[in-house]
Amino acid sequence: MIRSAASPGGVASRLRTPPPSDYDLASRRPGQALREKIRADCPSLIQRSLAWALRRPENASWRTGLRGERIVSRELARLRRHGWRTLHSIPLSPTWDIDHLLIGPGGVFSINTKHHRGKTVWVGDHVARINHGEGRPYPRSSRREAAVVKKVLDRGCRFAVEVKPVLVFVKPAKLTVQPSLQDVRAIENRELSALSVLTGVLSPEQVDAVYAVARDQRSWTSAV
């Protein structure tokens, strides 16, 4: 039987063959966008070591972010045995990427990683505060990323894909989330394992279809 192009199975079957290697985002490593920034800023090993020793602000921030994305990627890897798939560092523009995309029976989650080890984190509806400092627009950014992902997946899959934004804080001393924050999930990295038991949102065929679209870099052309 020939399936319609709009059906999940039809999309999955059309895209079952992996994209050419130049466009296959499944090969991207966690934090790859940050790695590329570090290499561009300090192309040689000696330069990178010197920048690290001098604690250059941009370089130190990128390295901290990279360590955080690596930690989160290890947590996400444990979900594979439960039928989940992950992509890392999906490029949207030269200065913007999706840290992690989690796809599985419980749906699709756009994950924004923030590494604030040993610090107090408060998250409200629109901003987060680190050690009671100035508000940072983490929740707003996470909503925006999820909206971009949904647009891309809806277009590529030809069926509606709900995308939920997740803010993951790596090893904070304390995380407090305002109860009114309902549309963005704000959690510590060790709480990612709780997502593994979620089911009933996507069928296996739909998981295949969403992953096939998401892993092809050409799907993200003109996403923003």
More confident residue, 91 or 3: 91
Q: Alpha helix (H) ranges present in the chain?
A: 8-14, 32-41, 45-54, 57-77, 138-157, 204-215
3-state secondary structure of 7: coil
Q: What is the DSSP letter of 88?
A: E
Task: Please check whether residue 109 is in contact with residue 67, taking contact to mean a CB–CB distance below 8 angstroms.
Answer: no
- Other beta carbons within 10 angstroms of residue 183's beta carbon come to 11
pLDDT, greater one: 57 or 19 = 19
Give residue 122's pLDDT.
98
Residue length, the chain?
224
Structure-token match 């899959």, residue found: 157
User: Token pair for residue 101?
Assistant: 């995309």
The DSSP symbol for 89 reads: E
- pLDDT: is 146 or 59 the higher one? 146
Q: How high is the pLDDT of residue 16?
A: 63
User: Do 189 and 72 touch, CB atoms closer than 8 A?
Assistant: yes
Check residues 59 and 119 and name the one with the higher pLDDT. 119
High-pLDDT (> 90) share of the chain, %: 76
- Residue 112 near residue 142 (C-beta atoms within 8 A): yes
**91, pLDDT greater than 70:** yes
| CA–CA distances in Å: residue 169 to residues 62, 119, 208 | 16, 10, 29
Specify the pLDDT at position 17. Answer: 84
pLDDT at residue 18 greater than cutoff 50: yes
Question: For residue 91, with 0-12 CB atoms within 10 Å meaning exposed, 13-18 middle and 19 or more buried, which class applies?
Answer: middle
The mean pLDDT of 101-110, rounded to a whole number, is: 98
Q: Note the pLDDT of residue 47.
A: 57
Instruction: Answer yes or no: is pLDDT of 148 > 80.
Output: yes
Tens of pLDDT, residue by residue over 157-211, are 999 999 999 999 999 999 999 999 999 999 999 999 999 999 999 999 999 999 9
224 band by pLDDT with thresholds 50, 70 and 90: confident
User: Which of 80, 53, 18, 61 minimizes the C-alpha distance to 215?
Assistant: 18
Which of 136-145 are b and which e, b meaning 16 or more Cβ less than 10 Å from the residue's Cβ?
A: bebbebbbbb
Apex CA 58: angle with CA 54 and CA 60, to 5°? Answer: 55
Q: What is the mean pLDDT of the chain?
A: 89
Given this model, what pLDDT does residue 3 score?
A: 36
